[in-house]
Copies of this chain bind each other. A is one copy, B any other.
Amino acid sequence: MLENKKTTIVLFSGDYDKAMAAYIIANGAAAYDHDVTIFHTFWGLNALRTENQVPIKKNFMEKMFGKMMPRGAGKLGLSKMNFAGMGPKMIKHVMKKHNAMPLPDLIEMAQEQSVKLVACTMTMDLLGLQKEELLDDIEYAGVAAYLGDASDGNVNLFI
């Protein structure tokens, strides 16, 4: 039996447009029967945050990061032409008109297609993010697990 092809994406960026690109490629690859992993690190972790504030103990720095970083996929800014938040509104407006899926739906679709969503534990520690603040049904791992996936991969991207 032929093994599935493998697509492994590091999502480092916390920009709405870049995360969209990552999830569109991931969903496409899953539709073609690739084994797909998105490894969320640094600002890319923000795409996995839930919208609701969760009551957990944090120290001062962790609270600062927690407040300054966008809470979830719907809140991310754009990498270009952000215009203090007007850019994302424009993009979402045209996406709606063209029936393109917004990012939270793309993430849900990825989960339905068994795309493996991984949160980088090392950067979670640095930014003070805890499991309670992130989506359900994601995995937690470090660089070793990423390299295990990536080194057999067909499509490896850093976004």
Is the CB of A140 closer than 8 A to any CB of chain B?
no
Q: Quick one: which of A115-159 are within 8 Å of B by CB?
A: 122, 125-128, 143-144, 146-147, 150-159
- Number of residues of chain A lying within 8 A (CB) of chain B: 54
Q: Are A147 and B155 CB-contacts (below 8 A) given A126-B95, A126-B98?
A: yes
Partner of A61 from the list B5, B13, B25, B93 (CB cut-off 8 Å) is B93
Whether A151 lies near B147 (C-beta < 8 A) is no
Q: Quick one: which of A2-41 are within 8 Å of B by CB?
A: 5, 7, 10, 12-14, 17-18, 21, 24-25, 28-29, 32, 34, 41
Complex formed: what's the CA distance from A64 to B94 in Å?
12
Q: Are A94 and B126 CB-contacts (below 8 A) given A153-B155, A156-B155?
A: yes
Whether A5 lies near B126 (C-beta < 8 A) is no
B-chain residues with CB within 8 Å of residue A109 when the two chains form the complex: none
A-B contact pairs, 26 of them (CB 8 A): A7-B147, A7-B151, A10-B25, A10-B157, A14-B80, A17-B42, A21-B41, A24-B122, A28-B146, A29-B147, A32-B147, A32-B151, A43-B80, A61-B93, A62-B94, A64-B90, A65-B90, A94-B126, A95-B126, A98-B126, A100-B126, A152-B154, A153-B154, A153-B155, A156-B157, A157-B158
- Add 7 more A-B contacts to A25-B143, A29-B151, A100-B125 (CB < 8 A): A7-B151, A24-B143, A28-B147, A32-B147, A61-B93, A153-B154, A153-B155
